Amino acid sequence: MPDLNLLIALDVLLEEVSVARAARRLRLSASAMSRTLARLRDTTGDPLLVRAGRRLVPTPRAIALRDRVGALVRDAEAVLRPTRGIDPGALERTFTLRSSEGFVETFGPELIARVAAQAPRVRLRFLQKPDKDSASLREGAVDLETGVVDRTTGPEVMTQALFRDRLIGVVRADHPLSRGRVTLARYLAGQHVDARRGLEPGLVDEALKALGREREVMTTVAGFATAIALCRATDLIASVPEKHTAALCVGMHRFALPLPTQPFTVSLLWHPRLDADPAHQWLRGCVREACAAAPIPLGDGGAARRRA
C-alpha cells in the first residue's frame, strides 16, 4: 500500500524541481530527500525528475501529476486543520482574491485598511476575473471571488450575499445626456459600448427586447472598467453596475436607466474546503465589513448616492 506521506514530499518536489530546495522546505537533509525521491520513483514507476545539464526537469508524468497532487495535499491539510479561533495579529498568510477592477477600486481601499489594522502580516493578492469559471476556486489557486451567482457557478461553490446593485448609465461629464432628463428616446439615439464576457445578451438588451426596442452598440469590450474608460474619452454611453463601479465613474455623469432592469446581488464565493478555516472565516468577515462600510464616491449624476 502506498505511503500517503509521500504525497507531501512529491508536492514539494514538483513545485521546487530541486532536491536541495525541497529538503530545506521539509527540513530534511539532502540525502534524506534523495532517498524520498527514490521511493517516489519506485512507487510511481516513473523517474519524475531527471537531470538536464546542471538542473532537474520534470517528466511528462510529473507534469501531469503536479496539479492533482497539489489539490490532494491542500484537501488533506484542510481536513486535518483544527477548527479554532485565530489571532489575526499573529497571522502570516497571503490570500488571493479574484474580482473585477471596479470592485477592487471601490471596495479595495477599505478592505486593505481593515486587514492592515488587524493583521499586519497578511497580504492580499488581487486577480482580474475574466470569466466565471470556478476551476480556480476548486483547485485552490484562489481563496475568494466576488460576482453574481448564476447557472454557470459551480454547484459546489459556497456563496454569501454582499450587496444589491443595479445598472445605471454613465457618460462623460459634458456629454449631451448630462443635461436634462434622459428619456428612452434620447438613450437609444446615442451609440453604446457594451461590456460582456460571453455572447449572450445582457440585462439591458433583454429589457429592450421586451419593449421591442434595440440600442446601437458601437463597440463591445470585456469589462466595465474598459467601457467606462472609453466613455470618458468619447460620446459613447455605457450601462454599468452603480455600486460596483462607483470609484471608476468619479467625475463622470451617471443617470438612472430609462428602462426597467432587475437589480442583482453581488456575492462572495469560496470553495467548501476553506469554509471551516478560521483564517478564511476572518477574511470573509473583513470583506463583508468592507463592502458595508466603504464610502461610495459621488459623481455628477443623480443616480449616485452614498451607502447608508
Flag whether pLDDT at 101 surpasses 60. Answer: yes
What is the tens place of the pLDDT at every residue in 201-249?
688 999 999 999 999 999 999 888 899 999 999 999 999 999 888 888 9
Q: What is the pLDDT of residue 148?
A: 87
- For CATH 1.10.10.10, the residue range(s) in the chain are 6-80
As assigned by CATH, the class of the 6-80 domain is mainly alpha
Q: Which three cell numbers stand for residue 127?
A: 486577480
Q: What angle do CA 18, 23, 29 make, to 5 degrees?
A: 130
Residues in the chain: 308
- Alpha carbon distance 181, 275 (integer Å): 48
More confidently predicted of 66 and 3: 66
DSSP 199: S
pLDDT of 58 higher than 50: yes
Q: Please give the DSSP secondary-structure letter assigned to residue 88.
A: G
d(CA 30, CA 23): 6
Q: What is the C-alpha separation between 243 and 148, in angstroms, rounded?
A: 13
The answer to whether the beta carbons of residues 294 and 110 sit under 8 Å apart is yes
First to last CA, the chain: 60
Distance CA 67, CA 228 (A): 37
Distances (CA, A) of 237 to 73, 242, 249, 299, 308: 49, 14, 12, 16, 28
Rounded CA gap, 192 and 169, in Å?
A: 10
CATH 3.10.350.10 is the classification of domain 91-308:
no
CB of 114 within 8 A of CB of 286? yes
- Residue 85 pLDDT > 60, yes or no? yes
Residue 89 backbone phi and psi in degrees, to 5 = -65, -25
Give residue 305's pLDDT.
Answer: 32
> Looking at the chain, which residues constitute the CATH 3.40.190.290 domain(s)?
91-308
Query: What is the per-residue pLDDT across 106-160, written as a single tens digit (0 to 9) for each?
Result: 899 999 999 999 999 999 999 988 777 778 888 888 999 998 888 777 788 899 9
CB 224 within 8 A of CB 244: yes
pLDDT of 84 reads: 65
Backbone phi, psi, residue 290, to 5°: -65, -40
CA atoms within 13 A on the CB side of 15: 18
